[in-house]
């Protein structure tokens, strides 16, 4: 039997990565054609910022009137408690992100487009502790909370190196001084994967585990829909 060639659609993640790579290559090649800034004395700025990548700092090196290299690091470790449906939840978010971005200011002004890469190490954990006398419903089956104990859900993203595309505005002084900036974009972090674990007396029983894995699988199917992570950063900069 002869094999037939069949055209297949590319996965959206491949399209995003190719587009980000091409955009980065075009910006880099264009930056070398610009020579308005004195190459021996590049303009440097430092900033403090907050956003969806955490709290941290940023460095800019202006290589021309239109092109700026931006490197940033951000992180956060936040937690919160809440109660719903007879369960006390503790949620924690651990963020650690490093960015390397090339900004293109088309008119040499405040607005810019940017492309680059993000080194991401982000994780989320949720621990549910049931109140006395409550039950868990797993895969349509009710389990007494006293037998299940607490349930922990750990979520991590599959891509540790993520391509980034974005845009932004910055109010920069012509000479030394303070300015402000705002950046918004997306990075392809891949789909997140969740793992559910219980601590109670029946935590290792096969029937209970099968129902817990059904819940885990359904949760991961929902998480598969979210492969792009929003990147929003804002802060103050000082130009030297």
The pLDDT value given to residue 98: 96
Residue 5 lies in a domain: no
Which long-range contacts (C-beta less than 8 Å, at least 24 apart) are formed by 13-22? 13/188, 13/190, 13/227, 16/163, 16/165, 16/188, 16/228, 17/163, 17/188, 19/165, 20/115, 20/163, 20/164, 20/165, 20/188, 21/163
* Least confident among 61-65, 68-72, 185-189, 231-235: 61-65
Residue 119 lies in a domain: yes
Distances (CA, A) of 202 to 6, 128, 154: 49, 16, 20
Residue 7 lies in a domain: no
Residue 128 lies in a domain: yes
What CATH number is attached to the domain comprising 108? 2.40.160.170
Distances (CA, A) of 52 to 95, 145, 233, 237: 9, 35, 7, 18
Mean pLDDT along residues 180-190: 94
Residue 16 lies in a domain: yes
Residue 2 lies in a domain: no
Mean pLDDT along residues 14-34: 52
Residue 150 lies in a domain: yes
Tally the domains of the chain. 1
Contact 67, 24 (CB under 8 A): no
Mean pLDDT along residues 33-49: 67
* Domain extent at residue 96: 12-32+41-239
Q: Is the dihedral of CA 13, 18, 24, 30 positive or negative?
A: negative
- Indicate the pTM of the whole model: 0.74
* pLDDT tens digits for range 65-117: 889 999 999 999 999 998 877 788 899 999 999 999 999 999 888 899 999 99
Residue 156 lies in a domain: yes
The pLDDT value given to residue 6: 40
* Cα 100 from Cα 70, distance rounded (Å): 6
The pLDDT value given to residue 28: 52
Question: What end-to-end distance do the CA atoms of the chain give, in Å?
Answer: 70
């Amino acid at each position: 039997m002869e094999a037939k060639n069949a055209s297949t659609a590319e996965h959206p993640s491949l399209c995003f990565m190719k587009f980000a790579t091409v955009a980065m290559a075009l910006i880099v090649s264009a930056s070398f054609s610009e020579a308005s800034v004195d190459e021996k004395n590049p303009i440097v700025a430092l900033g403090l910022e907050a956003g969806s990548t955490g709290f941290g700092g940023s460095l800019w090196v202006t290589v021309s009137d239109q092109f700026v290299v931006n490197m940033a690091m951000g992180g956060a470790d936040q937690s919160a408690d809440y109660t719903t449906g007879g369960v006390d939840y503790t949620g924690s978010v651990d963020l650690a992100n490093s960015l390397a971005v090339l900004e293109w200011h088309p008119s040499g002004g405040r607005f810019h487009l940017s492309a680059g890469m993000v080194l991401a190490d982000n994780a989320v954990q949720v621990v549910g502790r049931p109140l006395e006398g409550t039950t868990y419903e797993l895969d349509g089956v009710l389990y007494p909370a006293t037998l299940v104990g607490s349930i922990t859900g750990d979520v991590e993203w599959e891509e540790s190196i993520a391509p980034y595309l974005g845009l932004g505005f910055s109010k920069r002084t012509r000479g030394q001084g303070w300015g402000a900036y705002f950046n918004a974009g997306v990075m392809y972090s891949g789909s997140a994967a969740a793992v559910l674990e219980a601590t109670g007396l029946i935590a290792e029983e096969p029937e209970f585990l099968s129902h817990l894995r059904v819940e885990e699988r359904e949760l991961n199917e929902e998480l598969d829909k979210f492969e792009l992570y929003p990147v929003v950063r804002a802060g103050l900069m000082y130009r030297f």
